[in-house]
Structure 1
Amino acid sequence: MNPIVENERIKRSRRNHASSAELLIQAGGYVSPNPYLWEDALISVVLKKPILLKGPSGSGKTRLAQSISHYFEQPMQSINCSVDLDAESLLGFKTIISNHGETVIEFVEGPVVQAMKKGHILYIDEINMARPETLPILHSVLDHRRMLTNPFTGEVIYAHEDFTVISAINEGYVGTSPMNEALKNRFVSFTVPYLSGNQLREVIEGIYPDTSKEKVETFLHISHDLKQQVMNGLLSDEAASVRSLLDAMGLAAHIPVKRAIQYAIAEKLDDQIERRLVMELVDTWLK
C-alpha cells in the first residue's frame, strides 16, 4: 500500500474516533472501553501488524474484530481453534469431482488461503486452543514475508496488500496452552477488558433504546457487583461477561429480570455456589 494512502487511513481512524462508537452501536458493533484501544487497533491494521486480542470470554474480542471488518469494509474469514485443528482446516483440502464426465482432483481453498488471496481479514479465535505443532505453518504468513508455500499444492502465495490477521485468546482457560514465543512475537497484543460505567451504559442504550432508565441502572449495578466478585476471586470470568449481560437484557424485555439473569448468566456457571452467589447479588437490587 502506498505510504500516503496509509497515512490517510490513519488520519481517518483518528478523525472518526469520536463518532465511531455511535456508528458501531448502530451496527451492533464494538465500543472501546478507553479512548485509545479502538484507534490503536485500527492503526495496527493499517500498518499490517498481526493483532492479538487478549481478554476474558464475553469481553468483546470477536465484536472488536467484526467492527474492524465493518470499519474498513473488509470481509472476514474465521477459524475457530480446537485440538482437532489441522493444516487442512487452515489451508484447504483436495477432493475428487466430476468435470465434463472426467474425474479430476480439485483443491478447495481454506480460510487462510482465501484471506491471503482476496485481501480479507483472517480471524483466528481462541488460538491458544490449537495444538502447538499445528500453528508453525502460519509463521511466514504472520511475519514480514507475508507469504506461504501451500504443502498440498506447492503453490507459493503472497498476501494481498490488504490482508490482515487478528487472533484472540482467553488466557488461563481450561483446554488452553501458552503460546510459544515464536508465534507470540509475531503479534502486537491488546488487552480487551470488560466494558463498564458509561461505555456499558452507551452499549445498553444503543442496543435496547426502549429499556427504562430504571432497568438500565439495575443492570449496571448488577454488572458492577459481578465484576467486583470476579476480581475478588469468588466468581468465574464468565459471570461478568458483557455478552451474557446483554442476553439477559434481551430476555428481560419479556420476562422478569431475575429469571432473565438466571438463564443468561447464572445457569452458565458450572459451580453451584457461584450460581447461588449471582442470584443473591441480583436479589439485593430487586427488592
Structure 2
Amino acid sequence: MNINYQLPENIKQQLEETLEVRQDEEFQDLIRDGGYVPPHMDLLTDAITALSMGKNILLKGPTGAGKTKFAETLSQLFQQPMFSVNCSVDLDAESLLGFKTLAYEGEKQVIEFIPGPVTNAMKAGCFLYIDEVNMAKPETLPLINGVLDYRRTITNPFTNEMVTAKEGFGVIAAINEGYIGTVPLNEALKNRFIVIEVPYIEGEQLKQLIVSNTKLTDETLINLFVKLSGDLITAVFQGKLSEDAASIRALLDACDLSVLIPPKRAILRSIVDKLDEEREREFVKNLAETLF
C-alpha cells in the first residue's frame, strides 16, 4: 500500500509496513487466535493509519461490538504493550497518574510514588487505552488534555515532574453513547481524537468470530446464532430492543454455553436475563423459540 501523506521517509516506511501486515500470515494468525475481525477492512486500515501518524483514536459504537478487542488487536499489530484506564464517576487524578504511598528503604520509612497507567504508558512509549471515556466526570479528563494533543506532556501534580511521552506513545479510547451514567464529551476533548465508528459484526465475519472465539463447532447451530444476531441487530435499529440485546459478547457467551446446555437456555442466561424490560425479554425469547 502506498502512503501519500507528506511524512518523513522513516515514518512513511513504518506506516506502509504496518498496513501491509493486514494481508500477511501474521495478521491471519492473529484473527484466527481471537483478534478483532472488522466488518470492513477500512476500519482497521484507518485506525492503523491514524495511530502511525501519531493521532489518538476514539472507537465509538454499541456495547459488545468489539471495541476493546479492536484495541487489543491494534496493540498486537504494532507489537506495543497497552496500559488501560477504566473510566467511572470515581476516576480521579491518582487513578490516571499515580499515587504516593509509604515504603521502606532498609529500616527507613520513605514516601514512594507509584505511577499510574497514563504515566507508565508515556514513559514506556506504548499505547494507553481509555475505556468508556464518557463515564468519567467532565472535570477529570481535562487533566490529560496536554497528553492528548501535540505537546504529549503533563506536569505530574504529585511529584511536579514534567513527563513527556516517548516515541511510540499513542492513545486509543472507547465510548458507548446514551447509557446511564455517561456524559457527552466536551468539544475540546473530542477534537483531540480521530473518531472510528465500530458497527456490529455480522454475517461471515460473525461466523468466523464464533468459530475462533467459542467452543461451538456445530455448523448448523453456528448459522442459527448468526441469524439470531442479525435479527437482534435489526430489532435494535428499529427501536424494538436496546443495544444490550444485540451484544456480540453476550452472543459468544450463548454459543459457548450451548455446547453443554440447550441453545434456548443458553440464550436465556446470556442475553434474555440481562434485559430489564419484560417486553424486550419476551421479544428475544420468541426469536429464540422460532429459530431453535
**TM class by shorter-chain length?**
over 0.9
Q: Could you list the per-position Cα deviations for residues 165-203 of structure 1 after superposition, in whole angstroms to 9, with x for gaps in the alignment? A: 000000111110000001100001000001011211121
The corresponding residue for 1:206 is 212
The corresponding residue for 1:60 is 66
Counterpart residue type for residue 11 of structure 2: E
1:39: how far off? 1.1
Give the distance between the partners of 2:41 and 2:96, measured in 1 at CA: 35
Counterpart residue type for residue 17 of structure 2: R
The corresponding residue for 1:254 is 260
Q: Could you list the per-position Cα deviations for residues 116-162 of structure 1 after superposition, in whole angstroms to 9, with x for gaps in the alignment? A: 00012110000100001011111100000001111111101110101
Q: Could you list the per-position Cα deviations for residues 204-248 of structure 1 after superposition, in whole angstroms to 9, with x for gaps in the alignment? A: 222347612211111111111111111111111011111111111
Contiguous gaps of at least 5 residues in structure 1: none
Work out which of the residue numbers 226, 230, 235 in structure 2 matches 1:224.
230
Work out which of the residue numbers 23, 30, 38 in structure 2 matches 1:32.
38
Alignment partner of 1:84 is 2:90:
yes
Identity %: 50
**What secondary structure sits across from 2:113 in the alignment?**
strand
Q: Would you say how many aligned residue pairs link Structure 1 and Structure 2?
A: 285
Counterpart residue type for residue 256 of structure 1: P
Counterpart residue type for residue 47 of structure 1: M
Work out which of the residue numbers 175, 181, 184 in structure 1 matches 2:187.
181
Alignment partner of 1:46 is 2:52:
yes
Taking structure 1 as the reference length, the TM-score comes to 0.96
The corresponding residue for 1:12 is 17
Give the distance between the partners of 1:262 and 1:245, measured in 2 at CA: 11
Counterpart residue type for residue 12 of structure 2: N
Give the distance between the partners of 1:193 and 1:210, measured in 2 at CA: 24
Contiguous gaps of at least 5 residues in structure 2: 1-6
Give the distance between the partners of 2:55 and 2:140, measured in 1 at CA: 21
Work out which of the residue numbers 3, 10, 30 in structure 1 matches 2:8.
3
Give the distance between the partners of 1:262 and 1:118, measured in 2 at CA: 44
**What secondary structure sits across from 1:106 in the alignment?**
strand
Give the distance between the partners of 1:252 and 1:210, measured in 2 at CA: 7
Give the distance between the partners of 1:108 and 1:169, measured in 2 at CA: 28
Work out which of the residue numbers 85, 95, 101 in structure 2 matches 1:95.
101
- Equivalent positions of 1:61-210 (< 5 A) are 61-208=67-214
Give the distance between the partners of 2:261 and 2:216, measured in 1 at CA: 15
1:25: how far off? 2.6
Give the distance between the partners of 1:70 and 1:196, measured in 2 at CA: 23
**What secondary structure sits across from 1:16 in the alignment?**
helix
Q: Could you list the per-position Cα deviations for residues 237-260 of structure 1 after superposition, in whole angstroms to 9, with x for gaps in the alignment? A: 011111111111011111111011
Give the distance between the partners of 2:41 and 2:126, measured in 1 at CA: 27
**What secondary structure sits across from 1:223 in the alignment?**
helix
* CA distance 1:210–1:139, change in 2 (3 Å): closer
Give the distance between the partners of 2:291 and 2:243, measured in 1 at CA: 21
Taking structure 2 as the reference length, the TM-score comes to 0.94
Give the distance between the partners of 1:226 and 1:90, measured in 2 at CA: 37
Give the distance between the partners of 2:78 and 2:153, measured in 1 at CA: 22
Give the distance between the partners of 1:72 and 1:212, measured in 2 at CA: 34
1:9: how far off? 2.5
Give the distance between the partners of 1:206 and 1:95, measured in 2 at CA: 44
Q: Tell whether the 8 Å contact from 1:95 to 1:106 is kept in structure 2 after alignment.
A: yes
Q: Tell whether the 8 Å contact from 1:24 to 1:31 is kept in structure 2 after alignment.
A: no
1:271: how far off? 1.1
Counterpart residue type for residue 40 of structure 1: D
